[in-house]
Structure 1
Amino acid sequence: MQFVIALFAASHQPSARRALRFAEAALAGGHQINRLFFYQDAVSIANNSQVQAQDEFDLPAAWREFIERHQLDAVVCIAAALRRGLLDSQEAQRYGRPAATLASGYCLSGLGQLHEAAQQADRLVCFGGD
């Protein structure tokens, strides 16, 4: 089965961790993940400047490792990202900001990427966004 996973929850919310566990289980079960789409507060997961407390699970780091290990397509909604100060190098330059904050392995793009992926997959699974 081909999945698209959309995340809406910030990195500190339980559903963001559940999404990672679901993605791991899907791949372990022989399924495919066509795209991960980070939207609304979930864009915080792709923030390279976010630092977790030493006694907490580093969910953003776990997502980065998972995406890299499986070479997954990880798209961050550009509108939600810009609104929260999350920029790649091109957007940082465009808006005159001193640094990019988007972690490697992620790309900024529009909501159309979620729609396109959902049309091609068997299932769209969403986490968060109460």
Structure 2
Amino acid sequence: MNFAIVLLSGPQDPAARSALNFARATLDAGHQISRLFFYRDAVHLATALAVQPQDEADIYADWRAFISENQLDAVVCIAAALRRGVLDDAEASRWQRPVANTGAPWELSGLGQWVDSLQTADRTVTFGT
């Protein structure tokens, strides 16, 4: 079965960990994930500048590693990202900002990517509000 997963909640919300656990279980069960889409506050997971306290699990690093290790398509909504200051090199240059704070394995793109996922996946699962 082919899944599309969208995460709406930010890193501090338990939904971020639940989505990651679900995604891991999906692949462990032999299914596929056609796309991960990060929307609303979930775009904060794509920042490379967040630092977790040493006594807490690093959800940012966990997502990044999971996506990279499994070579998944991880799309961050560009409109939501720009509003929240999550910029890749191209957007930092475009908007004349001094620094980018995201990059591979994340891809900034529009809602069209999510619509495409809805049309091609067998199942769609949403985490967060």
Fold agreement, TM-score > 0.5: yes
Q: Where does structure 1 lack aligned partners over 5 or more consecutive residues?
A: none
Runs of 4+ in 1 over 2 A off after TM superposition: none
User: Helix, strand or coil for the counterpart of 2:91?
Assistant: helix
* 1:78 corresponds to: 78
Give yes or no for the alignment of 1:48 onto 2:32: no
Q: One-letter code of the match for 1:87?
A: L
Superposition RMSD in Å: 0.6
User: Helix, strand or coil for the counterpart of 2:81?
Assistant: helix
Q: Cα distance 1:9–1:27, how it changes in 2: closer, same or farther (>3 A)?
A: same
Q: Where does structure 2 lack aligned partners over 5 or more consecutive residues?
A: none
**Matches for 1:81-120 after TM superposition, within 5 Å:** 81-120=81-120
User: Helix, strand or coil for the counterpart of 2:125?
Assistant: strand
What is the identity percentage for the equivalent residue pairs of Structure 1 and Structure 2? Answer: 57
Could you tell me the TM-score, scaled by structure 1's length? 0.97
User: Helix, strand or coil for the counterpart of 1:5?
Assistant: strand
Q: One-letter code of the match for 2:60?
A: P
Distance 2:61 2:69 in 1: 12
